[in-house]
Structures are given as C-alpha cells and as structure tokens.
Amino acid sequence: MSLSPAESKAIRAAAQWYARLRSGVASDADRAAWNDWLLADPVHRQAWQRMAAVGEQMANVPGALAGPALRGVDRSRRQVLGSVLVLASAASVGWLGWRSETSRSLFADFRTAVGERREFRLADGSTLLLNTDTTVNLRFDAQQRVLELVRGEILVSTAADPLQRPFKVVTGHGEVLALGTRFIVRSLGQMRDVAVIEKAVQVSVPGGGSAVRVEAGQSVDFGGGALGGLRHNDASVGAWQQGSIIAIDRPLAELLADLSRYRSGILRCDPRIARLKVSGAFPIDDTDRALAALESGFSLRVTRYSRYWASVSGHDVH
C-alpha cells in the first residue's frame, strides 16, 4: 500500500518538527507553531505518532510533545506509516607535526568504539561529546586550549576561561576557533565540516588565506586547503546526540553509509536502489531495528550473511 501525497508531506514535516523540538534551542513560538501544525490535520497527528514511536529515543522529549490529540488514530493508516517513520520515493599533515592516525588513535586521550557515544567534562569546565568511532587528543597549557580531532565527530560546548586562552579544534585539514560557542566538527574520510549551534566560530585551513566566520545555524566544509561556502544547517544536524539519524528525502545509500558508522562490519547498498529517497527518524543505538523498518516499509530486502555483513536490495533484485 503506497502513501498518499498528504501522508508523504506530513512525514517530511514531522521529521523536521522532531529535529527542531529536540535541538535544545526550540522557542515557545516553535512549540506553539508545532502544536498548530499537529492539530491542523489528522494526518499530521498520525505522522507525529509514528515519529514519537521511534522508541526510547523519544524518552528525553517532554511528555507534552508526544501526547496531544493522538488517540483514536485509525490502525490501518498507522500501519501504512510503519513501525519507524520512514518514507521512500523513486526518484597539511605537517601543520601540527602529526603522527600517523593509527598511533594517534592508539594513544588518544579520548575515544569511543563503534556505536558508542561518550561525554567528557574538561578541566576548564567545557564539555566534549564524542560520537561513534571518534578519537580526540587534548592539549591544554598556559597559552591555549586545543582539541585534536583525529577522526570522527564531536560536539563541543565551551566554557569561559579566566585566563582567556583561545579554544581550538584542529584536524589535519583545518582549524576551528571557538568564539564562546557550541558547535559540531566532523572529520570522516573526505568529509570535514563544522556546524554551529550557538554563537559563532572561525574556520581556517593551512595556506588557505583568510578565515571564515560561521554563525549559529550555519555550516561550512573545509579541507584541501580550501573553505566551502556557508550554508544553513538542516534538520539532521546534531540529531545523533539524542540517538537518532534524521533523514529528509535522503538517498538510501547515504542513509546506509551513515548507519554503518554505528555498527561493526559491512553494510552494503545495492547500486540499483542507491538513489531511492528516504525520510524519517532512525535509531542509531539499534541499527538492526532501523534496517527492519526499511525492509518492512518498502519493498526492500535485507540479507544478512553474518553478524558483521548485511546487504540491502530491492525485492526484485536477485
């Protein structure tokens, strides 16, 4: 049974509201607007109910967000929306005197395993949240506060420093100077970017000329001696803090690549369905559950060769 255009639109909107309300910066006006949207149409309430049913990921959301006007939803239409809200439609190393990544990871100050997230409080009162498979080294002295992101993804919330030492996050491809702020830095293979949640940062690359200031709500890519253009954060930024991936019309191959960061082994996507678009909230603490939702929600097949090797294809692919 296919989704109607109204249900498809409601699912996209529910995913966006979910991300906004879980961002930690939602205003009273945001919550009022969400409530107006929720009450405007039964289809909106059905979509929100399935989003709220993602599982324990919603445990941190105030009950007032999950409860209004959700009783009496028609069961057959709930089944259309699925057990997890998903929708598919056709459609310079020398800069800091770096050692090898392997040795830096082995002797790192902070690290997480695949599928693990951990928060640390630093000596200056700042907090550091590490996403899955992340390695960070710490260099605090009398002149500066430096985090070396070897690989992975971190959320930094800086604290005011009586000594007024600058706070920086550095990678082999760029430097992020915090301007009293809360921000996310990723360094994953060829993907390196910064997303600012509060206040601002300054981003520079070795030999790259002038730096760029990134304000709250903005992101920028960096690397290869160049800075990308500023762009607005989308609804998915930082959703991993609460244990979810938020996808809005995202190619299936990209979603699976993101999910694979949270599970050991190989997660393969058949090239013939790689561009299938997906929207929804997917739990990263239980990737098998996310895969099961994809499998049951749309004619997809998940073949598990072992605990560490799974492949996603269409039912008509043999």
Are residues 74 and 140 part of one domain? Answer: no
Beta bridge partners of 282: 245
Are residues 304 and 245 part of one domain? Answer: yes
pLDDT at 74 over 70: no
In a domain, residue 244? The reply is yes
What pLDDT sits at residue 300?
87
Q: Which residues of 184-220 are buried (b: 16+ CB within 10 A; e: fewer)?
A: bbbbbeeebbbbbbeebbbbbbeebeebbebebebbb
What pLDDT sits at residue 65?
44
Are residues 250 and 210 part of one domain? Answer: no
Residues sharing a CB contact under 8 Å with residue 142, sequence separation 6 or more, in sequence order: 163, 165
Are residues 213 and 170 part of one domain? Answer: yes
pLDDT at 92 over 90: no
What pLDDT sits at residue 212?
95
Mean of pLDDT values over 97-106: 48
Range of 298's domain?
5-90+237-314
Q: Would you place residue 60 in the very low, low, confident or very high pLDDT band (cuts 50, 70, 90)?
A: very low
Q: Would you place residue 25 in the very low, low, confident or very high pLDDT band (cuts 50, 70, 90)?
A: low
The torsion angle over the Cα atoms of residues 218, 10, 261 and 153, rounded to 10 degrees, is 20
pLDDT at 103 over 50: no
pLDDT at 211 over 70: yes
What pLDDT sits at residue 89?
39
Sign (positive or negative) of CA dihedral 123, 127, 133, 136: negative
Beta bridge partners of 177: 168, 202
- For the chain, give the percent of residues with pLDDT over 90: 48
Higher pLDDT: 296 or 115? It is: 115
Are residues 114 and 212 part of one domain? Answer: yes
Q: Would you place residue 3 in the very low, low, confident or very high pLDDT band (cuts 50, 70, 90)?
A: low
Which pLDDT tens digit goes with each residue over 251-299? Answer: 999 999 999 999 999 999 999 999 999 888 889 999 999 998 888 777 7
Are residues 129 and 52 part of one domain? Answer: no
Q: Would you place residue 219 in the very low, low, confident or very high pLDDT band (cuts 50, 70, 90)?
A: very high
In a domain, residue 166? The reply is yes
What pLDDT sits at residue 316?
65
What pLDDT sits at residue 295?
85
CB 117 within 8 A of CB 127: no
Distance in angstroms (rounded) separating the CA atoms of residues 194 and 238: 11
In a domain, residue 232? The reply is no
In a domain, residue 138? The reply is yes
Are residues 180 and 97 part of one domain? Answer: yes
What pLDDT sits at residue 61?
42
pLDDT at 167 over 80: yes
Distance in angstroms (rounded) separating the CA atoms of residues 282 and 25: 21
Task: Give residue 183's identity as a one-letter amino acid code.
Answer: F
Are residues 242 and 218 part of one domain? Answer: no
Domain boundary among the residues 224, 259, 289 is at 224
In a domain, residue 66? The reply is yes
In a domain, residue 137? The reply is yes
> Which CATH number is 11's domain given?
3.55.50.30
Distance in angstroms (rounded) separating the CA atoms of residues 297 and 274: 16
Map residue 309 onto helix, strand or coil.
strand
Q: Would you place residue 24 in the very low, low, confident or very high pLDDT band (cuts 50, 70, 90)?
A: low
Query: Cα 50 to the chain's mean position, in Å?
Result: 20
Q: What is the largest CA-CA distance in the chain?
A: 64
Number of domains in the chain: 2
What pLDDT sits at residue 53?
56
Are residues 99 and 28 part of one domain? Answer: no
pLDDT at 83 over 50: no
Residues sharing a CB contact under 8 Å with residue 30, sequence separation 6 or more, in sequence order: 20, 21
Are residues 206 and 281 part of one domain? Answer: no
What pLDDT sits at residue 107?
61
Distance in angstroms (rounded) separating the CA atoms of residues 314 and 318: 8
Higher pLDDT: 260 or 7? It is: 260
Rounded to a whole number of angstroms, the distance between the first and last alpha carbons of the chain is 23
pLDDT at 70 over 60: no
- For the chain, give the percent of residues with pLDDT over 70: 77
Q: Would you place residue 90 in the very low, low, confident or very high pLDDT band (cuts 50, 70, 90)?
A: very low
> Which CATH number is 216's domain given?
2.60.120.1440
Residues sharing a CB contact under 8 Å with residue 186, sequence separation 6 or more, in sequence order: 152, 153, 192, 193, 194
What pLDDT sits at residue 146?
96
Helices (H) and strands (E) in the chain, counts: 8, 20
Domain boundary among the residues 189, 224, 259 is at 224
Are residues 139 and 211 part of one domain? Answer: yes
Closest CA to 244 of 112, 113, 56: 56
Are residues 27 and 52 part of one domain? Answer: yes
Domain boundary among the residues 168, 189, 224 is at 224
Q: What is the pTM of this model?
A: 0.70
In a domain, residue 309? The reply is yes
Distance in angstroms (rounded) separating the CA atoms of residues 272 and 300: 12
Phi/psi at 249 (5° precision): 50, 50
In a domain, residue 230? The reply is no
Mean of pLDDT values over 156-160: 96
